[in-house]
Amino acid sequence: MKYELPKLPYAYDALEPFIDARTMEIHHTKHHQTYVTKLNEALTKHPAFAETTAGKPELESLEELLANLSAVPEDIRKAVQNHGGGHYNHSFFWRIMAPNSPTGDLPAQAGEPTGKIADAITKFFGDFAKFKEQFSNAAVSVFGSGWAWLALSEQSESKGLSIITTSNQDNPISQGLKPLLGLDIWEHAYYLKYQNRRSEYIEAWWNVVNWNEVEKLFI
């Protein structure tokens, strides 16, 4: 199959003032597009392997690749890890953000989560404030480029939520975990507006978290 750049579910300026329109446009049309292009280039070297995910939704097929990297032909494994991860991570990132809409006419649910995900966060972290602090601290502490995640372990012996970080475009899926919330800490995600003020970007990002989508992923 040939992967494609997904359309954003909102306009480039929809996350203003927290994430500026120019950053969103470059991030989506340049950085994300490059991951898609290079993933497709890598897979063309092994058409038979590429066909193993044919006919499946893109995110589902990417999850299969990332969950079973050892099955990817060795000469393209790193490219699939990096560019497949980049495609998946960014597709996921766009999904779990939405415009902040206090009037309720848009799907965002910025602020504190509700429902089952809120209960789970309280169970594993004490309360939302403690979770937010731990997640933000993990994100600001990522060395170089990477991601901060809220991940779910569905293994019976260790079922629960955890905050983890990954380098570059690695993903919790490769660790047997299900991502529920992810924050891009690469400089291209924030540098035009925030320059080196990563912590300011992280604090602003909480205003556009789409907790409705996180709840769907959790349930």
Residue written as tokens 């300011």? 200
> Within 10 Å of residue 16's Cβ, how many Cβ atoms?
15
Residues 135-160, mean pLDDT to the nearest whole number: 89
Which residues partner with 184 through β-bridges?
147
Instruction: Tell me the two tokens of residue 85.
Output: 């991860």
**Residue 107 pLDDT level (bands cut at 50, 70, 90):** very low
Cα within 13 Å of Cα(131), Cβ side: 23
Domains identified in the chain and CATH numbers:
21-95 (1.10.287.990), 115-218 (3.55.40.20)
- pLDDT(109) > 90: no
- Backbone φ and ψ for 184, nearest 5 degrees, come out as -75, 120
Q: What is the pLDDT of residues 152-168, one digit of tens each?
A: 997 655 569 999 999 99
- Give the per-residue pLDDT at 157: 53
Model confidence at 181: pLDDT above 90: yes
Three-class SS state of 91: helix
**pTM given for the model:** 0.92
Residue 90 predicted with pLDDT over 70: yes
What is the C-alpha separation between 179 and 63, in angstroms, rounded? 11
Tell me the average pLDDT across 67-92.
96
The Cβ-side half-sphere exposure at 37, using a 13 Å CA radius, reads: 7
Kindly give, in sequence order, each residue whose CB lies less than 8 Å from that of residue 34, ignoring residues fewer than 6 positions away: 83, 86
CB 163 within 8 A of CB 135: yes
State how far the Cα of 139 lies from the Cα of 127, in Å rounded to an integer: 18
Please tell me the predicted confidence (pLDDT) of residue 191. 97
Of the pLDDT bands very low, low, confident and very high (cuts 50, 70, 90), residue 48 is confident
Q: For residue 41, is pLDDT > 70?
A: yes
| pLDDT band with cut points at 50, 70 and 90 for residue 58 | confident
The model's confidence at residue 103, banded by pLDDT at 50, 70 and 90, is very low
